[in-house]
Amino acid sequence: MRILELASDLDTRALGARLAPLLRRGDVIALRGDLGAGKTTLARGLIQALLGRDEEVPSPTYTLVQVYEGPSFPLWHFDLYRLEEANDVHELGWDETQDGAALIEWPDRAGRHLPAHRLDVFLENSGEGRRARLEPQGEGWQERLDERLG
């Protein structure tokens, strides 16, 4: 577990960028927190760092999913807030995501389809900024965070 203070949205983006080099094919990052917590902001920082350019990263609020072609594998960005039922994830290409990596806003909407092995990132208000809590679920993530986040 690891807790970070994010004073502004730049810090939130920067945390996403720091997570980008850790990401491997098959990884799942669950972005948790209330409406407006900063989930998309973090995803944007991560996606832009992974792609190495200022790719436009729209919120998948209405599309529910956006796919990006990363240098080594595809990256899926989900926002499941508007998902009506958990089984509907199959219509979003959920089963192909193991060939790449997935960032998932409102992950609990996926119910039992949410992989048990993942990194949970909780975002909550902290003064004018946010506090991030990184909680590895399953093997491997803690070591990677310790190695790469210093």
Binding site for ligand ATP (CB under 6 A): 6, 8-9, 11-12, 33, 35-41, 59, 79, 105, 129-130
Residue 130 contact partner, candidates Mg ion, ligand ATP, none, CB within 5 to 8 A by sort of partner? ligand ATP
Number of residues that bind Mg ion (CB under 5 A): 4
Minimum gap (Å) between residue 139 Cβ and Mg ion: 28
For ligand ATP, the closer of residues 26 and 129 by Cβ is: 129
Report the alpha-carbon distance of residue 148 to residue 33 in Å, rounded.
24
* 74/52 Cα distance (integer angstroms): 14
- Residue 30's DSSP bridge partners are 104, 120
Residue 39 binds to Mg ion (criterion: CB under 5 A): yes
**Going residue by residue from 59 to 78, which x/- string records binding to Mg ion, judged by CB under 5 A?**
x-------------------
Nearer to Mg ion, 40 or 66 (CB): 40
What residue 27 binds from Mg ion, ligand ATP, none (CB within 5 to 8 A, per partner kind)? Answer: none
Handedness of CA 60, 136, 88, 90 (dihedral sign): positive
Element (H, E) at 132: strand 129-137
* 6 interacts with, out of ligand ATP, Mg ion, none, CB within 5 to 8 A per kind: ligand ATP
Select the span of 6-14, 58-66, 69-77, 115-123 touching Mg ion (CB under 5 A). 58-66
Residues contributing to the site for Mg ion (CB under 5 A): 39-40, 59, 105
